[in-house]
Amino acid sequence: MTTLTMAKALNEGLRRSLGDDDRVMVMGEDVGRLGGVFRVTDSLQSEFGADRVIDTPLAESGIIGTAIGLAIRGYRPVCEIQFDGFIYPAFDQIVSQLAKIRHRTDGAVSVPLTIRVPFGGGIGAVEHHSESPEAYFAQTAGLRVVSCSSADDAYSMIQDAIRSDDPVLFFEPKRRYWDKAEVDLDGVTSLGLETARVLREGTDITVVAYGPMVATALAAANEAEGTSVEVIDLRSLSPIDFDTIERSVLKTHRLVVVHEASVFLGLGAEIAARITERCFFQLEAPVLRVGGYATPYPASKLEQYFLPDVDRVLDTIERSMAVE
């Protein structure tokens, strides 16, 4: 086992994929000589060459459009979107082309393209650098949407994403890039891309989170005095592993969903609706949600008031437990 930051674990996962398959290539702004803004692609160009780790022009639509063509020709490109809010110029390529090609060709053409998206706040940045656009893509049929929350999972998930024959939006919580965990670089045990993970067993209430909010949910669970909290890392945002959530809720009878994105029409709404349908007679309280407000991302000095924190999660847990 090796102790790595999430950024380094992703770097090692990319290195392993590049080494294992000559069709894999990395593309993006400053991913080569600089090694990426967050150094996730550090040293990969010097090891694999500038024809496989490519510094592109500052043009997200061009990056994704070119990568789609490469994927159709049999390559497995990995594109980096430097910051979450920069993905919008490529929105048309992603939802109108990338998501539709396999269906449009009745399965004859695969587009094995992975798009890495550093997302979320908590780093003192501004709008377009601290956003949570995952719901746009999770709502689009034809795309896989996933998010890692720890170094060990990031290492295996990025390799699973690159091996997938489906297009994958891979959301990386940028505020967790420097969190460390033990990673087994040799004996990878992967859950795949569709399975949620129970990180903490509990009996009184279930808390579901993903990406940057998983650590927050675990911290809240540890501080919830007198309440046994089960914590689930969603991992896959599309498709969602409702079976794992349902099994947990049938045990605890209560559910709180946590994400950084706005609560309004966020992924928590879909989870709340589905679990209410599936567990209506077992729920002892309404499914509650914790998330961002329905406002543009604020200036950095105000982000602490916008982002869900341990106190807001604990308050919501207490509200659920108060329902008899």
Q: Give the residue numbers annotated as catalytic, written as ranges.
A: 129
Looking at residue 276, the DSSP 8-state letter turns out to be H
Rounded CA-CA distance 267/135 in Å is 6
CB neighbours of 287 closer than 8 A, spacing ≥ 6? 255, 256, 257, 271, 272, 275, 276
Site of tokens 């400053």: 30
Rounded CA-CA distance 135/266 in Å is 6
CA angle 128, 134, 137 (to 5 degrees): 115
The full DSSP string for 156-176 is HHHHHHHH-SS-EEEEEEGGG
Q: Count the neighbouring beta carbons within 10 Å of the beta carbon of residue 203.
A: 12
One-letter amino acid for residue 130 of the chain: S
What is residue 98's three-state secondary structure? Answer: helix
Q: Exposure of 68 by Cβ count < 10 A (0-12 exposed, 13-18 middle, 19+ buried)?
A: buried
User: Can you give 63-93 as a three-state secondary structure string?
Assistant: HHHHHHHHHHCCCEEEEECCCHHHHHHHHHH
Instruction: Give the Å distances, CA to CA, from 27 to 13, 236, 262, 263.
Output: 15, 24, 30, 33
Site of tokens 């990426």: 36
